[in-house]
Amino acid sequence: MNNEFNTSHPKIILELENVVGNKCSLGEGLFIKKDSKAWVDINNDKIFTFSNNILRNFKTKTKPSIIFDINENNIVYGSDKGIINFDHSTTHEKAINLTSNNHALENYRSNDGGYCLGTKFLSFMHRSNPNDYPGYVYKVSNGKWHLIDDSLHIPNTFIEIESGKLIVSDSLKREIWLFEFTKNGLLENKTLWKKYNKGCAPDGGCMVNDLILITMWDDASISVLEKSGKVLQNLKMPVIRPTNCKFDSKNSRLWVTSAYDGLDKSDLTKYPLSGETLIFKLALQY
C-alpha cells in the first residue's frame, strides 16, 4: 500500500484490520481519547461514538463538523452554530461558545478544526458557493472568537506540526498553509507550505511521530510528509474520498473516515467501502 519511500524516515506499513460498519455521507471530525473514538457525519447531522466495541450514533440539532472532546457524559463538538456541549445521556445540547459576527450563520457551515496550540480552532466554509466566497478560520479562547484568516475557501486539516506552527489546508485550491504563532498566541506569519496537483485535495490528518499524514480527497490515498512539506509516501486507501485520519498510539492503529457524497455508481462499485470508518494496523519500518 506504499510507494515513494524515503530511506531517511521510517516507512509506514498499513494493514486493514476492521470496518466499523457505519456508512457516512460525509464522515469527518475524528477524535481519539484513550479507548474512546468519535466522529461525525456532516451531511446527516450525526455523531458516532465507538467505545468498548459498541458503536452508537446520535442525531444533533446543529450541523457537526469536528469533535473536540469526549468523556463519560458529554461530547464537545464544533458546528455551524459554534461550539456545542452535547450530553449523550439526555441528548441535551448547550452552546459553550457562539460564533462571532464576522459571517452570517445561514450562509456558512463549520468544516474542520481541532484542539491546537493549547486552544480550539474552528473553520467555516460557504454552504453553497465556496468558489466565490472564502471561508473563515477562528481561534476560540477564553470564550472569545478571534478571526485568524478569511482567505481560505475550504479550510481544512489543522495539524500542529511543532510548537507554535499549525498547518491549515484550502481544499478547494489544493494548498496547505503554514501559520506561525508567537508565544502569546498571536499570528506572526503565514506562508504557502505545500501545493498539490489537480485531481486530489488535502483533507483532515494527524501526526505519527514526526510524520504528517493527510487524507487526500478524490485520490484514494493518504499523503505522508515530513515537516518541510516534502512527500515521503503515498498510502493507498480502499475509499476514493478519505476525509480524516487519527492515530491511536496506545494500540498502534490508524482510524480513517470517508465519504460517499457525490460519488456515482461506477465509483461506488470500484470503492464499495466509501463512507465507512476504517481501522488499520500501523507499523513503522526502519
- With a cut of 50, say whether residue 4 has pLDDT above it: no
Give the helix/strand (H/E) hosting 266.
Answer: helix 265-270
CA distance 197 to 142: 39
Residue % of the chain over a pLDDT of 70: 98
Give residue-wise pLDDT tens across range 201-233: 999 999 999 999 999 999 999 999 999 999 999
Sheet-wide strand order for 27-33 = 27-33, 36-41, 46-51, 54-59
CA distance 114 to 201: 19
Residue 210: what pLDDT? 96
DSSP assignment of 228-257 equals TS-EEEEEE-SSS-EEEEEEETTTTEEEEE
Q: Mean pLDDT over residues 119-125, rounded?
A: 97
- With a cut of 70, say whether residue 174 has pLDDT above it: yes
Residue 149: what pLDDT? 98
Q: Mean pLDDT over residues 242-253, rounded?
A: 98
Residue 256: what pLDDT? 98
Residue 3: what pLDDT? 44
Nearest of 74, 139, 83, 72 to residue 110 by alpha carbon:
83
CA distance 27 to 239: 12
CA distance 136 to 23: 29
Residue 1: what pLDDT? 45
Q: Mean pLDDT over residues 250-266, rounded?
A: 98
- With a cut of 60, say whether residue 2 has pLDDT above it: no
Comparing 2 with 30, the larger pLDDT belongs to 30
Q: Is the dihedral of CA 83, 86, 31, 237 positive or negative?
A: negative
pTM of the model: 0.95
128 CB contacts (<8 Å, ≥6 apart)? Answer: 107
Domain boundaries, the chain: 11-285
pLDDT band with cut points at 50, 70 and 90 for residue 7: low
Residue 245: what pLDDT? 98
Residue 72: what pLDDT? 86
Q: Hey, which CATH number is domain 11-285, 3.90.700.10, 2.120.10.30, 1.10.760.10, 3.90.1150.10?
A: 2.120.10.30
- With a cut of 70, say whether residue 150 has pLDDT above it: yes
**CA contacts within 13 A on the Cβ side of 99:** 22
Please, are residues 216 and 224 in contact by the beta-carbon 8 Å criterion?
A: no
Long-range contacts of 145-150 (CB under 8 A, 24+ apart): 145/97, 145/99, 145/100, 145/102, 147/100, 147/102, 148/121, 148/179, 148/187, 149/179, 149/190, 150/102
DSSP assignment of 159-210 equals EEEETTEEEEEETTTTEEEEEEE-TTS-EEEEEEEEE--TT-EEEEEEEETT
